[in-house]
Amino acid sequence: MSYATAQCLCGKTGISAPNLGDSIGACHCVMCRTWSGGPMLGVDGGEGLILENEAHISVFSSSEWAERGFCNVCGTHLFYRLIDSNKYYIPVGLFADSDKFHFDEQIYVEQKPHYYDFANKTKMMTGDEVVSEFEEQSPEKTPDDLKSYP
């Protein structure tokens, strides 16, 4: 089995992903932009994700439904995790081999600031559309505050 691997800036922790997705999504929501300093460009971590040296990973509970992990030594952002489904999204910049990735989707586009635009043609979704899609996939697990997120 071939693993996609990534490390934080200081090398104290990292990720091994045997089933890493190849589709990049950009999130323009205020929370992701505050966390990332710009849009979050992430890929699906897939099944079987392994977090290396977890003692060096700190987790911030950013909402009732998600948390964000980072290296507690150098601060590198490592993942965004949906709690109910245990689904991980990994910042694509962590992976040295970027040839397999393609940019396909942008979400929370109504929160994107005016000072940047991507040239790629992608699927564009508003926050309401993201929430609707989430509700269709897991109607019993949709937190009330997701409906009103920013």
Q: Compute CA distances 75 → 16, 35, 93, whole Å.
A: 18, 11, 14
Q: How many CB atoms lie within 10 A of CB 126?
A: 13
pLDDT beneath 70, residues of the chain: 1, 137-150
Domain boundaries, the chain: 4-139
The answer, as to whether pTM is greater than 0.85, is: yes
Looking at 2.170.150.70, 1.20.1250.20, 2.30.110.10, 2.40.10.10, the CATH number of the domain 4-139 comes to 2.170.150.70
As a residue count, the chain comes to: 150
Per-residue model confidence (pLDDT) at position 150: 41
Per-residue model confidence (pLDDT) at position 140: 61
Segment 60-102, tens digit of pLDDT:
999 888 999 999 999 999 999 999 889 999 999 999 988 999 9
Q: Which two tokens stand for residue 44?
A: 């699906």
Per-residue model confidence (pLDDT) at position 149: 44
Compute the distance between CA of residue 91 and CA of residue 51 in angstroms, rounded to an integer: 14
- Residue position matching structure tokens 């911030």: 60
